């Protein structure tokens, strides 16, 4: 029987890819007056729900979605967490 | 030469391309909606510029999954011609017909300008009317046009002669100062290894009628036209 899962997905630029937006935000943070801010890198956070047979199935589906669409492996890395949703949350 | 111009929600250079191929060059041209699945008998597929799907997620990322795209990939696999301009170039990298990716400009500026380009290869049908010692000037309009690829891919592109256009100075020097967006190796346009698929960030269709200033782009379309005529 399938179960509802929630996935939390983090997409980040590969270290070798320049992040000019991160650099711009860093200068904003310096203007804010907070000292000691080092590198700033901007990524994406994606939250989604899906039906899956079990944990392994959910992870496999999320991995496919990340590899094919949510991230571009040429320029980005990704990681994710999946967790089964409680029944009452679904109702 | 039969031309098919793809239209996605958010495409905005489709009519410019149709004007060039149909009105200026007199070739039968039709627009192909992204939900179609059949390219029909078109010889050349043009993927125009714009902001397909609002550039959501990444430029070209969602367009790549449009119903028409499997037919475009098959068209390319058969050795037929595909030209991607600006957003079209981004879509071609996302779908894997061209290597690398196009990411946010180095200086964060949306660049809207007319820039000189060095034509690296003049032995391809596409570029046969250009000269490598004479820069051409084409309009450029993008916020995410910085060409990126890993070192190995970049070396392959260079070794195979797949770089067609580079940003250069008015006199043709390929320098960092002449690089508007931080593209690796000043790359503005490339082709696949088989040389039938090309992608470029500058807009040749916007420089094909003297009334809007500059006609350096028209030779590219003429080159394709002649190559299709030869193939027949």
Q: Is B205 marked active-site?
A: yes
Fold of B3-231: Rossmann fold (3.40.50)
Give the predicted TM-score (pTM) of the model.
0.93
Mutate to test the interface with A, among B55, B56, B57 (most CBs of A within 10 A): B57
Clarify whether B112 is annotated catalytic.
no
The DSSP code for A24 is H
> What are φ and ψ of residue B80, in 5° steps?
-80, 165
Choose the closest CB to B103 out of A17, A24, A69.
A17
Cα(A67)–Cα(A61) distance, rounded to whole angstroms? 10
Yes or no: say if B205 and B17 are a contact pair by the CB < 8 Å rule: yes
Which tens digits make up the pLDDT trace of B10-63?
999 999 999 999 999 999 999 999 999 999 999 999 999 999 999 999 999 999
Of B110, B21, B94, which Cα lies nearest the Cα of B53?
B94
In chain A, where the domains are located: 3-90
Instruction: Report the pLDDT averaged over residues B190-199.
Output: 97
Mean pLDDT across B111-116? 96
Mean pLDDT of B167-171: 97
Sorted by where each begins, the domain ranges of chain B are 3-231
- What would the mean pLDDT of B78-95 be, rounded to a whole number? 97
Q: Average the pLDDT over B108-132 and give the result.
A: 94
Quote the pLDDT of residue A91: 47
Distance from the Cα of B66 to chain A's closest Cα (Å) equals 12
ipTM of the shown complex: 0.84
Which of A46-60, B51-65, B187-201 shows the lowest mean pLDDT across its residues?
B51-65
At A75 the pLDDT is: 96
pLDDT at B182 over 90: yes
- What is residue B231's predicted lDDT score, i.e. its pLDDT? 66
- Which class does domain A3-90 fall in? alpha beta
Please report the beta strands in chain B, taking only residues with DSSP state E, as ranges in sequence order.
Answer: 3-7, 29-33, 44-47, 81-85, 101-103, 111-119, 136-142, 146-148, 163-167, 187-191, 197-200
> Catalytic residue among B13, B86, B168, B191, which?
B86
Q: Does A47 touch chain B (CB under 8 A)?
A: no
pLDDT for A86 beyond 90: no
């Amino acid at each position: 029987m399938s179960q509802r899962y929630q996935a939390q997905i983090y997409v980040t630029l590969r270290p070798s890819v320049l992040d000019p937006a991160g650099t711009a935000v860093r200068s904003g943070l310096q203007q804010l007056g907070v000292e000691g801010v080092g590198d700033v890198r901007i990524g994406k956070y994606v939250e989604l729900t899906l039906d899956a047979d079990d944990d392994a199935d959910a992870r496999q589906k999320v991995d496919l979605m990340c590899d094919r669409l949510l991230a571009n492996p040429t320029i980005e890395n990704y990681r994710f967490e999946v967790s089964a949703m409680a029944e009452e949350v679904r109702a | 030469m039969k031309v098919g111009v793809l239209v996605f929600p958010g495409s905005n250079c489709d009519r410019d391309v149709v004007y060039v191929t149909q009105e200026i060059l007199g070739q039968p041209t039709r627009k192909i909606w992204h939900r179609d699945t059949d390219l029909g008998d078109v010889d050349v597929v043009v993927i125009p510029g714009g902001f397909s799907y609002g550039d959501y997620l990444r430029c070209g990322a969602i367009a790549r999954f449009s119903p028409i795209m499997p037919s475009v990939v098959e068209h390319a696999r058969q050795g037929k011609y595909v030209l991607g301009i600006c957003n079209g170039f981004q879509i071609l990298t996302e779908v894997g017909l061209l290597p690398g990716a196009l990411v946010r400009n180095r200086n964060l500026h949306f660049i809207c300008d007319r820039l000189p380009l060095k034509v690296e290869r003049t032995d391809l049908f596409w570029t046969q009317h250009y000269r490598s010692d004479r820069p051409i000037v084409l309009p450029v309009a993008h916020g995410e046009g910085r060409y990126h690829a890993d070192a190995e891919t970049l070396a392959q592109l260079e070794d195979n002669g797949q770089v067609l256009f580079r940003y250069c100075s008015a006199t043709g020097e390929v320098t960092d100062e002449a690089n508007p967006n931080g593209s690796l190796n000043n790359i503005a346009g490339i082709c696949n290894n088989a040389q039938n698929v090309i992608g470029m960030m500058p807009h040749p269709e916007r420089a094909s009628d003297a009334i809007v200033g500059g006609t350096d782009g028209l030779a590219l379309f003429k080159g394709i036209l002649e190559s299709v005529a030869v193939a027949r």
